[in-house]
Amino acid sequence: MRRPARIAALLGALVPAAASAQVAPGQAQRQKPYFALYEALGKPENWKIHGTFRPRVEGLGGQFRPAPAPATNDLFSMQATLFAEYDTGPVRIGGEIFDSRAYFQRRNSNSIATTEVNAFELGQAYLGFDMADVAGLGTVSTLTVGRFTQNVGSRRLIARNQFRNTINAFTGIAYDWENAAKDRLRLFYTLPHYRLPDDRAGILSNSIEWDHESLDTQFFGGIFTKAGVLGGILEAYGYGLLERDSGSQLEGIQTRDRRLFTPGFRLYRVPRPGQFDHELEVIGQVGVARNTAAVTDVTDVPVTAYFVHAEAGYTFKAAWTPRLSLHYDHASGDSANPNSYTRFDTLYGARRFDYGPTSLYGAVQRANLISPGLRFEIAPDPDWDAFVDYRTLWLENPTDSFAATGVRDRTGRSGTFAGHQIEGRLRYWLVPRSVVLDSGVAYLLKGDVLRNAPNAPNTGDTIYGYMTTTFFF
């Protein structure tokens, strides 16, 4: 591969990209807009300029969250991004504005927070240093300093969000290296952004407030990727998180004071027509934290948690490129012992590609979960793709709250069965390479826990739907 192309391959963490988790051939979005802002500006030399605009409407009935969450909820959200980068040769100067807003949600909705609202934010502002083969003949390296986004590994622990309306961003330094054999290394030290505003009035009014980063939350680590291992690709990584309360008790940011080390590995084979594929990711988590973020909670307890994802699939060599895959997810929940904490923390990861839509929905996450599932995907041509996904949902620990629902039976008498989830999605390019329609539904058939736990709402099964149109320019 020519050196400029290899350098460009390392920059995916800085610009919007398709999920690096496994997808069937044709499922990853590809776009080259008919109307390009860069071309409209006269194709200025050494510049990259592009953006997106994404309105979305969604609705939920049969709420699964405890009161005072409304039994039904609606939301209209908008996300806009504008990215620009100037390449001077060895140094690139880049930046990106995010604008995420939400309207028409119920005032007592606790599903709308900084995950949906972050108006007019400078999410990226960085210097990128292309160091060519400074780390050895046949290698290429880049160094990034400033504000940036990250897509790392499977994106289960570190991700630039795609479905969620707001986007994770970090301030710090990152080093990327790649050799001729496609082995890769990424090392980073960052201060994660705390999105603002975080108060209910500010969120409901889409107030503009600069995001906060400080030494009170530090996130760092590295990941090494080795190609050609057991017919696939091996990733090995370790991430550290140091967190403490910031500011005063009345005006500061209160946290669980997490001090976590999260090592793991991932072995996977990319889906291809006429072949079997697989993915196995195993993650451990150790350290100390507090059971709550309350100001009065000053007791550190040891953390021991884990997560496992296993997947096996086959892509048929047929016109519609169908792929059938089996999935299994197992995430630890917190025990009833107040002197330890065993609930898995997914850090800064994304979950839509594993567990369905988030936003008003987002019932399932990597915490207190045992979930086998089956997925069927098709991608007949570049203009559209679709999938249907079925999961059964169980609690790993009956005394902890289930996944992201907040529903909990501290006695464990409601059992461990949470229900079934059926999800479907269809994407269609209304204007090829420029405008894509993404629509989906999720149906949660509640089981014993989501019906009988003391704080479970009596709202029946949950139905959720959304429709998104994304404009690329």
Tens-digit pLDDT string for the chain (473 aa): 333 343 344 434 334 333 445 665 555 555 567 678 888 888 899 999 999 999 999 999 999 999 999 999 999 999 999 999 999 989 999 999 999 999 998 877 777 899 999 999 999 999 999 988 777 788 899 999 999 999 999 999 999 999 999 999 999 999 999 999 999 999 999 999 999 999 989 999 999 999 999 999 999 999 999 999 999 999 999 999 999 988 655 567 889 999 999 999 999 999 999 999 999 999 999 999 998 888 888 999 999 999 999 999 999 999 999 999 999 999 999 999 999 999 999 999 999 999 999 999 999 999 999 999 999 999 999 899 999 999 999 999 999 999 999 999 999 999 999 999 999 999 999 998 899 999 999 999 999 999 999 999 999 999 999 999 999 99
Adjacent-strand bridge partners of 64: none
Could you count the other beta carbons within 10 Å of the beta carbon of residue 414?
24
**CA–CA gap between residue 208 and residue 361 (Å, rounded):** 25
Q: Where are the domains of the chain?
A: 3-472
Residue 352 Cα distances to 57, 99, 252, 360, angstroms? 17, 20, 31, 12
Q: DSSP 3-state assignment of 420?
A: strand
First to last CA, the chain: 28
Amino acid at 268: Y
Burial 385-402 (b: 16+ CB within 10 A, else e): bbbebbbbbbbbbbbbbb
**CA–CA gap between residue 145 and residue 14 (Å, rounded):** 11
Task: Please check whether residue 289 is in contact with residue 303, taking contact to mean a CB–CB distance below 8 angstroms.
Answer: yes
CATH architecture of 3-472: Beta Barrel (2.40)
Q: Is the dihedral of CA 148, 152, 158, 164 positive or negative?
A: positive
**CA–CA gap between residue 62 and residue 248 (Å, rounded):** 39
Residue 348 Cα distances to 39, 121, 160, 213, angstroms? 35, 18, 9, 15
Which candidate, 382, 432, 429, places its Cα nearest to that of 33? 432
Tell me the helix, strand and coil percentages in the chain, rounded to 5: 5, 50, 45
Cα atoms in the 13 Å half-sphere on the side-chain side of 237: 30
